[in-house]
Structure 1
Amino acid sequence: MGTTRKAQAAMEYLMTYGWAIIIIIIVAAALYYLNVFSPPTTQVASGFTGFTVPTGGWSLSSGGQLTVLLRNAVGSRITVTAMSATISGTTASLTPAPANMTVNNQTTFRTGAADFSSRTAGSAYSGTVTVTYTNTDTGLTFTSTGSLSGAVS
């Protein structure tokens, strides 16, 4: 009779803690899938229509200047008439605008030296960039908005 009770206690122990371990593994897998464990300093550019921003083609300095390298992927000649960025609720214009860009041409745009205030090097940031451009072949005006994130350099 004593062996049966020990076996039952051992089975109850394994079942109770076994389920707890399975739940912990499922939660950890879900968090991994949602990129919770990824460092926030990974550079990501997304959402731009008609433009590409090459990997590593943008930076935010610790002094607060944003630099963005933009490539014309519209398929025709364009003129960038305005470009602005918003980071942490602060909006700033990027120059040079207007800028004429041929197909696949790349142009570097910059904000003022301290438009986004001083930031700690290595800290994460994310923001949106809005580009207003005119297709010089058709005369139509378009707006493209995308997001950028990374680490302050």
Structure 2
Amino acid sequence: MHQKRGQVAMEFLMTYGWAIIIILLAVAALWLLGVFSPSVTTTCQIEAPFTCQDAVISDNSIIINLGTAQTQSATVTSITVNGQACPTIINSALTPNTVTTVKCLGLTLKEKEKTAIQITTSYKKKGGGLTHSAEGTISGQASRGSYVYDNDPDLLLAYDFDGGPIDLTGNGYSATLTGGVDCTVQGKRGNACSFNGTDLNYYQISPVSPELPASNFAFSFWFYLDNDAVSRGVWQYLLHPSGFRLYQHDGDNQLYFYNTGAQLIGWAPSSGEWHHLACSVIADDNVICYGDGQKKAINQPTGGFTSSSQITLTTTSSGGNDLPMDGKLDELAIYTRVLTDEEMIEHSKL
């Protein structure tokens, strides 16, 4: 009798045990696919006479496209994110009858953190009169933001190129455009600035240029080559400030970093796709570069950096065989410190 009961119990475990295991495996697979933690949809609402066209929530920024109609003037007076005041608001003054991209920068949210955002505005009706207020709300989940929006005290200048080369750091190093540079083209994220490869097609900081130290600085940016240097038969400059030059050689499409001597970065990026480049110039005259998140075998400088230099960030040159790039730039940041290897790799994950 006991033997029969034991056999029945074993058959029960064999039959239903496998079923339980299969169910557990299915639940685990669904968990890995994110079924039990679905993404949160971003919503944006605001009182009339304003309209919220779109909003993007990142771990370090909130980007909002706000429109206003039938107003004489309108201003975003405050943005609160999860109960904390926004550190920096860019484009707070709205232009009537158009869509303005308002940016809240310097946040320190966690990626995938759920957010509740309150917007407060003030406005005057068309024709003048009293000042009124309106409020709005945004909710969603934070995604990875661009490094140009970080609240980094060592950011010398930062451009996302949305609306042109406007400095996002508050240091006042916005640039002027020359020769019909188009900053309305699609970039790696948002808009980029497109250069047609002529020596009259560039941008430079005016009237005051930032000053780089002789060492311990870094730069990071995304670029897209419409045509490479070999096909153009010229050295094409991605960055050409007075302090250093970064160019693609017409002999082999390799990138070179030049100050007192040419240093081969050891990378020939292809045309027709976006690439990321980050380089750190270190105190002992070493230059470390990462291309698309991979460390490059740059050779050592010959002579190092002799002095600090005023950079103008032009992509123009003297002409002839040296010309600006034929392509696009996006998400440019220059630092007065060295970027770590981990930071340069992280920048390439945008």
TM-score, structure 2 as length reference: 0.29
Once the two structures are superposed, residues 3-55 of structure 1 have per-residue CA deviations (whole angstroms, 9 ceiling, x without a partner) of 9976763343121331353355357657843326x6xxx9x53232331215x
Deviations 1:40-87 (A, max 9, x none): xx9x53232331215xx5656xxx5x3624132x6x334234142426
SS in 2 for 1:82: strand
Distance across 2 between alignment mates of 1:59 and 1:26: 30
What are the within-5 Å matches in structure 2 for residues 93-132 of structure 1? 93-102=88-97, 105-111=98-104, 115-116=106-107, 124=111, 126=113, 127=115, 128-132=117-121
Q: Hey, what's the Cα distance between the residues in 2 that align with 1:83 and 1:107?
A: 15
In structure 1, the residue matched to 2:43 is: 46
% same residue? 9
Kept after mapping to 1: 8 A contact 2:118/2:135? no
* 1:80–1:133 Cα contact (<8 Å) kept: yes
Deviation at 1:124, TM superposition (A): 1.4
Q: Secondary structure at 2:42's aligned position in 1?
A: strand
Tell whether the 8 Å contact from 2:78 to 2:85 is kept in structure 1 after alignment. no
What is the rounded CA distance, in whole Å, between the counterparts of 1:70 and 1:77 in structure 2? Answer: 17
Aligned twin of 1:134: 123
Aligned counterpart for 1:151 among listed residues 125, 144, 155: 144
Q: Could you say if the C-alpha distance between residues 85 and 53 of structure 1 is closer, same or farther in structure 2, counting changes exceeding 3 Å?
A: farther
Secondary structure of 1:12 counterpart: helix
User: Which sections of structure 2, spanning at least 5 residues, go unmatched?
Assistant: 147-350
* CA deviation map 1:110-151 (0-9, x unaligned): 346xx436x9xxx61654252424372596521002135210
> Under a length normalisation based on structure 1, what TM-score does the superposition of the two structures give?
0.54
Partner of 1:71, secondary structure, is strand
Aligned to 1:13: 14
Distance 1:101 1:35, change over 3 A: farther
Counterpart of 1:116 in structure 2: which amino acid? L
What is the rounded CA distance, in whole Å, between the counterparts of 1:83 and 1:53 in structure 2?
Answer: 18
Question: 1:99: how far off?
Answer: 2.1
Instruction: Flag structure 1 segments of 5+ consecutive residues without an equivalent.
Output: none
For 1:150 and 1:88, locate their aligned partners in 2 and report how far apart those are by CA, in whole Å.
19
Q: 1:125 to 1:26 in 2, by over 3 A?
A: closer
**Residue in 1 aligned with 2:317?**
none
Q: In 2, distance between residues paired with 1:19 and 1:59?
A: 40
Residues 84 and 92 of structure 1 are in contact (CA less than 8 Å); yes or no, is this contact kept in structure 2?
A: no
Q: Distance in 1 between matches of 2:112 and 2:6?
A: 59
Q: Which has the higher contact order (CA 8 A, sep 6+)?
A: 1
**Given residue 107 of structure 1, which amino acid in structure 2 is its aligned partner?**
T
Residue from 61, 77, 86 that aligns with 1:82: 77
Q: Over the residues paired in the alignment, what is the CA RMSD in angstroms?
A: 4.4
Greater fraction helix: 1
